[in-house]
């Protein structure tokens, strides 16, 4: 069966640096992959969607890459801010999620 993994449970970085989060999947070939942000006690909020034929997608300080050969997506936040602190989740096109990475940006 397919499996989706986010390698880091938690990531701590300094304000202004670039945060890079990883999402890997196995036994599956998704048509697209999504990234969501979740704040404590809230439902996830959609950030970006990248399709299998797209290598990279950007939205303001966010960038997502999708490598179907490696079966991996990378999620970057440039010029990170303390307000970016949250849990970030990736999801495949079947609406199944990875466990999430808790990002903390320190001032």
Partner 1 sequence: SQTIHQWPATLVQPVGSPLSLECTVEGTSNPNLYWYRQAAGRGLQLLFYSVGIGQISSEVPQNLSASRPQDRQFILSSKKLLLSDSGFYLCAWTGSSGANVLTFGAGSRLTVL
Of 80 and 87, which CB lies nearer to partner 1 in the complex structure? 87
Q: Which of 103, 56, 57 minimizes the C-alpha distance to 81?
A: 103
Q: Which CB atom, from 15 or from 54, has the smaller least distance to partner 1?
A: 54
- Least spacing, CB of residue 106 vs partner 1, in Å: 21
> Whole-angstrom Cα distance, residue 32 to residue 13?
28
Residue numbers of the site for partner 1 (CB under 8 A)? Answer: 31-32, 34, 36, 41-46, 49, 51, 89, 91, 93, 95-100
Termini Cα distance of the chain: 41
CB of 80 to partner 1, least distance (A): 22
Work out how close the CB of 104 gets to partner 1 at its nearest, in angstroms, rounded to a whole number. 14
Cα separation of 62 and 85, whole Å? Answer: 14
């Amino acid at each position: 069966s397919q499996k989706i993994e986010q390698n880091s449970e938690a990531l701590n970085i300094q304000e202004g640096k670039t945060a890079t989060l990883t999402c890997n999947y196995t036994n599956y070939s998704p048509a697209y992959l999504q990234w969501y942000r979740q704040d404590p006690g809230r439902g996830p909020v959609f950030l970006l969607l990248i399709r299998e034929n797209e290598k990279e997608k950007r939205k303001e300080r966010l960038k997502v890459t999708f490598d179907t050969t490696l079966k991996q997506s990378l999620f970057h936040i440039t010029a990170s801010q303390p307000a970016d602190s949250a849990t970030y989740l990736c999801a495949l096109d079947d609406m199944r999620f990875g466990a999430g990475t808790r990002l903390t940006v320190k001032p």
